[in-house]
């Protein structure tokens, strides 16, 4: 593989081969990552990357768009079918630009948005002060309830009455519970606010029918396509028909130029895969695996944030193991388990060395891991983190992980 690249640019070819090797040999637990099919990879590496096509299918600013029109329309139609959406824009380059376009489609600068606090599982683009959007819109942040781990819907209503937001925003990056979209819609209706859900993390589980779907209820829903949805790196916006023209204008020409049609083709391929019955099983297995990992970690006295998981991820405070999130991430890296350090609710520590780690099951579920393997993963994590100085043990676990991952081949055809 990579025959031409190896000849023309051996340094890049070597880095790609090493990355393939890394992906094959580690237990990948970053909840926002996944392994696309080789069909998706082929679409991504296709000649569609050469084509400019500003505009939308049937209405472009360039000639020669008859093939990319077919590609983009298929992506739109399949996404509509997957989520029951009235209108879909598949051109957003990723999740952050999808969110920015969504805000500009339905709001005016200065409008108030009620979004979740980052340390409680919200996302940077939901109004963190370091982002440009926080200078344009007035973000107010709500939190989860400490006892139940749930969004405090009574408090959300109170805050909505107090701040009179134009938009209530749900959908998170590190929150492990289901969302009551109906309740959020009722709160929004009571104060005359619009509703937006960012389902980037859980889109695949929703598409597989295993979590609540806000698309039918909410004004606007954004997602990435590369997480549980298992497509290429990219974004997408779904909305009610009444917002269609504003959404399309906000994406192009509002925010972006030429769409990346190779990427849109890969999205279409992934959506076709997600429409197959096997994908429902995949979505269900993601949830079962997260439960198996949670049960094993609870057995070993790990502190699970938000009480439990009802999706694909677990946020864990590692303070009671006498570690920081960064130390835990580094130790797990050493044995071949990839995860990310993460803030916990109202974390007293800093983002670069927070109190927690975030673990997710989508990628290893794609490789074929089931509950038994995730119980083993829970044991590997425990042994590693409870024995931070034991190099010999770490070497032994690394070897066991190599043997385990070897039984679940990843991209053997690319070797």
Q: How far is the CB of 201 from ligand DSN (least distance, A)?
A: 6
Q: How far is the CB of 338 from ligand DSN (least distance, A)?
A: 12
> For residue 196, which of 250, 270, 154, 158 has the smallest C-alpha distance?
250
- The active-site residue out of 144, 222, 223, 224 is 224
Q: How far is the CB of 360 from ligand DSN (least distance, A)?
A: 9
Half-sphere exposure of 230 (CA within 13 A, CB side): 29
> Is 227 one of the catalytic residues?
yes
CA 161 to chain centre: 31
> Is 54 one of the catalytic residues?
yes
Quick check: 98 and 224 in contact, CB under 8 A? yes
Residue 269 φ then ψ, to 5°? -60, -45
User: Would you say 55 or 97 has its CB closer to ligand DSN?
Assistant: 97
Residues near ligand DSN, by CB under 6 A: 32, 95, 123, 173
User: Would you say 193 or 315 has its CB closer to ligand DSN?
Assistant: 315
CA distance 277 to 299: 34
Neighbours of 5 (CB within 10 A): 14
- Helix, strand, coil share (%) of the chain residues, nearest 5: 50, 15, 35
Give me the residues paired with residue 221 across strands.
197, 238
CA distance 406 to 105: 47
User: Would you say 118 or 193 has its CB closer to ligand DSN?
Assistant: 118
User: Would you say 71 or 363 has its CB closer to ligand DSN?
Assistant: 363
- The active-site residue out of 54, 303, 371, 386 is 54
User: Would you say 222 or 289 has its CB closer to ligand DSN?
Assistant: 222
211's CB contacts (< 8 A; 6+ apart) are 178, 202, 205, 310, 311
Tokens of 42: 């082929």
User: Would you say 123 or 260 has its CB closer to ligand DSN?
Assistant: 123
165 φ/ψ sector (left φ>0, alpha ψ -120 to 50, else beta): beta
CA distance 267 to 80: 13
User: Would you say 123 or 321 has its CB closer to ligand DSN?
Assistant: 123
Neighbours of 191 (CB within 10 A): 17
- The active-site residue out of 183, 233, 272, 280 is 233
- The active-site residue out of 28, 72, 117, 198 is 198
Nearest residue to ligand DSN on Cβ basis: 32
In the chain, the N- to C-terminal Cα span, in Å, equals 7
Q: How far is the CB of 313 from ligand DSN (least distance, A)?
A: 9
Beta strands in 212-279 (DSSP E): 220-224, 235-239
Q: How far is the CB of 212 from ligand DSN (least distance, A)?
A: 20
413's CB contacts (< 8 A; 6+ apart) are 38
How large is the C-alpha radius of gyration of the chain? 22
- Using alpha carbons only, give the angle 253, 259, 262 rounded to the nearest 5 degrees: 175
DSSP reduced 3-state for 27: strand
- The active-site residue out of 17, 51, 52, 178 is 52
User: Would you say 36 or 48 has its CB closer to ligand DSN?
Assistant: 36
Q: How far is the CB of 173 from ligand DSN (least distance, A)?
A: 4
DSSP summary character for residue 407: T
> Is 52 one of the catalytic residues?
yes
Residues labelled as active-site residues: 52, 54, 198, 224, 227, 233
């Amino acid at each position: 593989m990579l025959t031409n690249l190896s000849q023309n640019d051996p340094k890049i070819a070597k880095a790609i081969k090493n990355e393939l090797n890394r992906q094959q040999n580690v237990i990948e637990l970053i909840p926002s990552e996944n392994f696309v099919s080789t069909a998706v990879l082929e679409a991504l590496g296709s000649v569609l990357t050469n084509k400019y096509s500003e505009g939308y299918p049937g209405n472009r600013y360039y000639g020669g768009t008859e093939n990319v029109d077919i590609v983009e329309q298929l992506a739109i139609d399949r996404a509509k079918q997957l989520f029951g959406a009235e209108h879909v824009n598949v051109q957003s380059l990723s999740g952050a630009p999808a969110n920015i376009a969504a805000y500009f489609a339905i709001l005016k600068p200065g409008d108030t948005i009620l979004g979740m606090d980052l340390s409680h599982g919200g996302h940077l683009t939901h109004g963190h002060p370091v982002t440009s959007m926080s200078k344009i819109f007035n973000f107010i942040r709500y939190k989860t309830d400490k006892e139940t781990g749930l969004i405090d819907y009574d408090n959300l209503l109170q805050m909505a009455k107090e701040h009179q937001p134009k938009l209530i925003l749900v959908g998170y990056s590190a929150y492990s519970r289901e969302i009551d979209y109906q309740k959020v819609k009722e709160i929004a209706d009571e104060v005359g606010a619009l509703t937006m859900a960012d389902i980037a993390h859980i889109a695949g589980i929703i598409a597989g029918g295993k979590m609540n779907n806000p698309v039918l209820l909410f004004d606007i829903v954004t997602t990435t396509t590369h997480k549980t949805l298992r497509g290429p790196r990219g974004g997408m916006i779904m909305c009610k028909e009444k917002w269609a023209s504003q959404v399309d204008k906000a994406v192009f020409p509002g925010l972006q130029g030429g769409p990346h049609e190779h990427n849109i083709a890969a999205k279409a391929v992934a959506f076709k895969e997600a429409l197959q019955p096997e994908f429902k099983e995949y979505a269900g297995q993601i949830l079962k695996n997260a439960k198996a990992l949670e049960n094993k970690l609870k057995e070993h006295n790990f502190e699970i944030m938000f009480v439990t998981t009802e999706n694909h991820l677990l946020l864990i405070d590692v303070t009671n193991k006498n570690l920081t999130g960064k130390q835990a991430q580094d130790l797990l890296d050493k044995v071949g388990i990839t995860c990310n350090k993460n803030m916990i609710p109202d974390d007293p520590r800093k983002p670069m060395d927070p109190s927690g780690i975030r673990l997710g099951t989508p990628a290893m579920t794609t490789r074929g891991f089931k509950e038994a393997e995730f119980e083993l993963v829970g044991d590997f994590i425990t042994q590693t983190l409870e024995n931070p100085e034991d190099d010999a043990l770490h070497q032994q676990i690394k070897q066991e992980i190599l043997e385990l991952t070897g039984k679940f081949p990843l991209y053997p055809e690319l070797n």
